Amino acid sequence: MSDIEPKDLYYHGNFFQQVFSSGGLSSSSSSSFLTTQNPNTSINQKLNMSPPSLQEFDSIGTSSYMSGFTTDDCLVQDPMEYYNSFMTTGFGLSSSSSEVVLSSINGGSTNYHQSPVTMMTTSSPQHDHSSISSSSTEAAGGGGGGDHQEDSSSGKKDQQPNGSEDKYQEDENSSKKVSKVKNNKKGEKKQKEPRFAFMTKSEVDHLEDGYRWRKYGQKAVKNSPYPRSYYRCTTQKCSVKKRVERSFQDPSVVITTYEGQHNHPLPSALRGNAAAAAAMFPPSMLAPTSSSSSLMVGSGAGGFGQEFLFQMPNNYMIGYNQLDAGSSSTAGSILSHVYQQSNINNSRMDDHDHQMQAAGDDYGLLQDMVPGSMFFKQEP
């Protein structure tokens, strides 16, 4: 089941370092992402492959590429707080919304994104210019089930009762016009759900992840010949959405952005690759409670070994593997490691090849740690 060994993973750069040190994804900041290798693809091929999607992030910035990924989203005030909330409540930050950018470029043509390599997390503690406006309130936090960003707000003639994506009841006014009400109150913006994005090299746009999705829209992407598709989780009362688009510079790369957290376990048939694919997501992306979902995912993966590397602001970088996740009852028991990152400073896209090489060879396991003490502050 595990097509990829953890050691096959890596290339990574200093996306966060740049982001956080520069205060955002300015046009001059560089960013890079981990890629992963599929055994089906030769290393040479991989190395020779240009990383267009990465360049896009670099040169264009995320906001234009994945809408909603704005510079402000990349700010973190307290890495430790951020990390703790990330590990304990997943993406539900206590006081701010978050986004995670995970790059996973698989060499194969498989339908499944197989093994994540890097996860990059961002949050927007204060500002938000993205299309999905932030809420200064609990946003993703609250831990709470059932909140939704679409607001089922009552108040006005909103056409759909909370939660169900399918039934759009017509009110008596039943005009054909779309009358969606975004705000409950004047001045309040729509809540921003935690987001999680990753890039996958795949021939298919819609990657199998174990959940059922219904497409509800498609829009042309500016500056790209490829459209962006919008999906909703078909499970009742689950407000998770995802956007899928293809890199316009490298059509083989698919960018998937998840928004929100599933409030239910994986649908019935959790098997095979779907489970493996699902295993790449942080626990909270899969189910409401991190512990149970962690167990579920790990077990479902059946010994699926994979490794996450987290690169945090200010050169913090953490990682862990899930080799033994199946026997763990909670994420907290996952063996964790801290890696020393090679070439962390000033890595640029044109160092891409070198980074891959270096990352694969030079990653040093410094120590095993338990969650909660996973941060390693790199020397400048």
User: Which positions touch DNA (CB under 7 A)?
Assistant: 64, 67-68, 128-129, 131-133, 150, 159-160, 165, 168, 170, 176-183, 189-190, 212-222, 228-230, 234, 241, 243
Query: Is 286:297 a contact under the CB 8 Å cutoff?
Result: yes
Q: How far apart are CA 241 and CA 190, in angstroms?
A: 15
* Comparison of 217 and 364: residue with beta carbon closer to DNA: 217
* Comparison of 223 and 367: residue with beta carbon closer to DNA: 223
Q: How far is the CB of 181 from DNA (least distance, A)?
A: 6
* Comparison of 190 and 352: residue with beta carbon closer to DNA: 190
First to last CA, the chain: 39
Q: How remote is the C-alpha of 348 from its chain's centroid?
A: 22
Q: How far is the CB of 346 from DNA (least distance, A)?
A: 30
Phi, psi of 276 (to 5 degrees): -65, -40
* Comparison of 84 and 234: residue with beta carbon closer to DNA: 234
Q: How far is the CB of 162 from DNA (least distance, A)?
A: 11
Say which residue the tokens 């219904």 belong to.
Answer: 214
Query: Is 232:249 a contact under the CB 8 Å cutoff?
Result: no
Query: Is 363:10 a contact under the CB 8 Å cutoff?
Result: yes
Q: How far is the CB of 255 from DNA (least distance, A)?
A: 11
Say which residue the tokens 């759900």 belong to.
Answer: 193
Q: How far is the CB of 128 from DNA (least distance, A)?
A: 7
Pairing relationship of beta strands 195-201 and 213-220 according to DSSP bridges: unpaired
* Comparison of 226 and 362: residue with beta carbon closer to DNA: 226
Select from 310, 275, 248, 268 the least CA-distant residue to 119.
310
Q: How far is the CB of 218 from DNA (least distance, A)?
A: 3
Q: How far is the CB of 66 from DNA (least distance, A)?
A: 7
Pairing relationship of beta strands 307-311 and 118-124 according to DSSP bridges: parallel
Q: Report how far apart, in Å, the C-alpha atoms of 334 and of each of 89, 323, 372 are.
A: 15, 8, 12
Q: How remote is the C-alpha of 106 from its chain's centroid?
A: 16
* Comparison of 163 and 332: residue with beta carbon closer to DNA: 163
Sign of CA pseudo-dihedral 52, 57, 59, 65: positive
DSSP state of 6: G
* Comparison of 265 and 319: residue with beta carbon closer to DNA: 265
* Comparison of 40 and 175: residue with beta carbon closer to DNA: 175
* Comparison of 187 and 380: residue with beta carbon closer to DNA: 187
Cβ contacts of residue 342 below 8 Å, gap of 6+? 355, 358, 359, 362, 363
Please, what is the Cα angle at 72 between 68 and 76, to 5 degrees? 120
Cβ contacts of residue 285 below 8 Å, gap of 6+? 90, 91, 196, 258, 261, 262
* Comparison of 157 and 354: residue with beta carbon closer to DNA: 157
Please, what is the Cα angle at 150 between 197 and 233, to 5 degrees? 55
